[in-house]
Amino acid sequence: MKGKLIVVSGPSGVGKNTLLNRVMELRGNVQYSVSATSRPMRPGEIDGKSYYFVSREQFEDLIRDDALLEYAEYVGNYYGTPIKPILEATQNGVDVVMDVEVVGALKIKKRIPDAVLVFILAPSFTVLKKRLEGRGDVSKELMEQRLERAKWEYSQAEHYDYLIVNDGLDKAAEELMSVMQAEKCKTMERIHLIKEENECFIPQ
Ligand code: ADP
Ligand code: 5GP
């Protein structure tokens, strides 16, 4: 069985990375899609693990080479999903989780309709602002831009398959894992089991 693509979006600071890390701790057979970006590295980030940090020119080469499943500009920088690792993982039956903003997520859904789109909400805008401030790794100006973008992102949530409120990490992780499990139980994912089982039950 092929692996699933789980695309997670939500405003900056809502807890997407924290949540995906928790899910990967708790659930096997899941791979994180490392994106490419032209934004500068933040303290604590690791090249090749958090992102592939590249220049704008290098990013434009990736676009030209058709190496990205999707890409978008977010608050002045490029972000994009390398396609090769995703194809390899899903073909080997490994689920892929990714953190992609709204424009890119909707492009993925168009290209791969059975990708699962999950939008993460904060319990309130005040909490979102506090989390973003608490992380303390972007300037005040960038924070304002990200919060402005968040308002538009919320307006796009209706296009997603699932909404999860990250008001508690364990609860949100449990909900995301339930979504992943439910997707695996969909009839068309399992229809081959019926054929196999039927053979056992056919009277000789
Ligand atoms: P994102 O990837 O969406 O930008 P992060 O995962 O970096 O967000 O989380 C932003 C901040 O919020 C971090 O300091 C993180 O520890 C905190 N955080 C994440 N989830 C929760 C939660 N459920 N409750 C409280 N704080 C959280
Ligand atoms: P940050 O700079 O906080 O790491 O990420 C900013 C935004 O870029 C987040 O909303 C995140 O979801 C998005 N993002 C990260 N990787 C990708 C990607 O590969 N493609 C797109 N379209 N967005 C991404």
Q: Residues near 137 by Cβ (< 8 Å), separated by ≥ 6?
A: 42, 43, 44
- Tokens for 12? 């900056």
| Residue 200 predicted with pLDDT over 60 | no
Closest ligand 1 atom to 12 CA: 4
Nearest CA to ligand 2 atom 17: 100
CA separation for the pair 136, 189 (Å, rounded): 43
Please check the confidence at residue 199 and state whether its pLDDT lies above 70.
no
**Does the Cβ of 59 fall within 6 Å of ligand 2?**
no
Q: How far is the CA of 122 from the centre of ligand 2 (A)?
A: 17
What average pLDDT score do residues 160-171 get? Answer: 98
Band of pLDDT at residue 194, cut at 50, 70 and 90? confident
pLDDT tens digits along 58-79: 999 999 999 999 999 998 999 9
Q: Tell me which of 6, 70, 79, 166 to substitute to probe ligand 2's pocket, judged by most ligand atoms within 8 Å of the beta carbon.
A: 79
The predicted pLDDT at position 53 comes to 98
Report whether residue 11 contacts ligand 2, using a CB cutoff of 6 Å.
no
H/E stretch holding 16 reads: helix 16-26
Helices (H), 136-203: 140-155, 169-184, 187-201
Q: In what order do the strands lie in the sheet with 77-82?
A: 52-53, 36-37, 77-82, 68-74
Closest-lying ligand to the alpha carbon of 8?
A: 2
For the chain, what is the mean pLDDT? Answer: 93
Instruction: State in Å: Cα 148 to ligand 2 middle.
Output: 15
Q: List, for residues 112-164, the tens digit of each pLDDT value.
A: 999 999 999 999 999 999 998 888 877 888 888 989 999 999 999 999 999 99
* Protein residues whose CB sits closer than 6 Å to any atom of ligand 1: 10, 12-18, 131, 134-135, 166, 168-169
Q: Which of 69, 77, 67, 71 is nearest to 38 (CA)?
A: 77
Ligand 2 centroid to Cα of residue 100, in Å, is: 5
List the single range of 32-46, 96-110, 135-149 with lowest mean pLDDT: 135-149
